[in-house]
Structure 1
Amino acid sequence: MIRVVLADDEAMVRAGVKGILQTDPEIEVVAEADNGQAAIDLVARHRPDVAVIDIRMPGVDGLAAAEAICRSTAGTAVIMLTTFSEDAHIAKALRAGAGGFLVKSGDPRELITGVRAVSEGAAYLSPKVAARVISHFGGDRMARADRAKALAAELSPRERQVLALLGSGRSNQEIGRRLHLVEGTVKSYVSTILTRLNVRNRVQAAIIAYEADLIDEPVD
């Protein structure tokens, strides 16, 4: 069972997100919060697998809550809920340690996919938000793409395959099944990839995969 704490200051939004999550019998919303401080407290109390947090909330906002949760509760992955008017905050959420980003107006199925992905240690970027995440890493877009492709070119063929699947939101287990590798070997590849790309987490690696056009690259 994937245990979730949900935080959004709009009751109707919380109800909608909770309703979507509850269509999956393996996901349970264990607590709800209407502000960032309550989210921090509930995560500390319940130790959920995933915290789904709205970026904008009164008092302690979602960004501060995400940073506090990532810093103090290592076993809880964080997904940020965003709107297209909030993309300036996305890079901050990434630096805070968030593992996933979803647009509120996106496909409801992405919510379940994202929660499942981050609960298994994967990164998840909604297709609608991926480009906006990328846009906040500074510099000319073509220059970033060239840099990403150059970094990817330094990886081995197998590492490129792992990176492509990681960028698609696959967990280590899913990558292992796809590439016929044991999970421990996948973990080793991921660790090596993060080091060689000089990034801190899977989300940043996923961004490079997007920029290098690896997402649709064949892996078989």
Structure 2
Amino acid sequence: MSGRWRRTGVALLALAMLLSATACTSPSPSPPEHATCSQLLSGAVAYERSGTGDINSIVQALAEGCSDEYEIAVDYLSNSTDSEFSIDDCDRLLGYGVREEAVVLLQEDGRCNFGDTDATVGTEWPDGGLGWDHASEHVGTVQRVCGPLMSVRNTEDGAFVNVGRDYPSSDRFTFIFWDFYLEPIEGGATVCGSGEIYLYDGVVAQMEMWDPGALEIWR
């Protein structure tokens, strides 16, 4: 890591936390009765990454009422363990029909990597990365995008992290976390995130992220 950049922890407050932050609670909590599909998926991912929690009950809840998120969870969990059949090429996983959202999660875990995407990474960003102002040139591809934080906006639908330019500028880049609230992030930070880039209303470059903990904060 460059001496210029120091990564700090993400200050997050989930709308409905599926994992306890203290050691005093039960190590295997059941999923909240009214958890949304996105929250259940995030819980399954967090349990897998931490190695704790009753992941089976969450997968069961997904199977019973969240078909899309269930498929993503199964694809992610099926490819998140080491074995002689593991595939470390993200493009090959997509070619085998693994859900794109699951592949993004696997890339975040370092389980797979994409080949050359013709994206120009900037040395001015921590650990490289595609600059927010070039994101619109790579719509439809999975990238790690970085940019200076402008604002964190929480709404009833979720949190919107704007970089480069602030809302409502159409030149901004936005990381979206549906069904989550994010605590304020101290000004002057640079944020990075991995996922597929797409355009909102054909203008604003955006990226949906399933796990708030995957948002990188650098100072």
Q: TM-score, normalised by structure 1?
A: 0.31
RCO greater where, 1 or 2, for CA within 8 Å and sep 6 or more? 2
TM-score (norm 2): 0.31
More strand by share: 2
Structure with the larger helix share: 1
